Amino acid sequence: MIVYTPFWEMLKDKNITQYALINHYKISAETVNRLRHNKPVSLNRIDDLCKMFDCNVENIIKFENYDIKK
């Protein structure tokens, strides 16, 4: 499962709020909501975030393996 935990940790370290994402960085509220709830986001959007925050994809997403057979 893809999670966006690294993204939120990076934002916390940089003191960037969800309000700033929407109003300063012009990221749609829907995209912020999708990131917050670990829902799918396009690779184009991930690329935009990497450029916007001058970071690598590993600073945005992380794969967490879980056993679906449980």
> Mean pLDDT, the chain, as a whole number?
94
Is position 68 within any domain?
A: no
pLDDT at 66: 73
Measure the CA–CA gap between 27 and 49, rounded to whole angstroms: 9
Is position 56 within any domain?
A: yes
Check residues 66 and 43 and name the one with the higher pLDDT. Answer: 43
- What pTM did the predictor assign? 0.86
Banded pLDDT at 55 (limits 50, 70, 90):
very high
Is position 70 within any domain?
A: no
**Enclosing domain of residue 26:** 2-63
Check residues 65 and 29 and name the one with the higher pLDDT. Answer: 29
Is position 38 within any domain?
A: yes
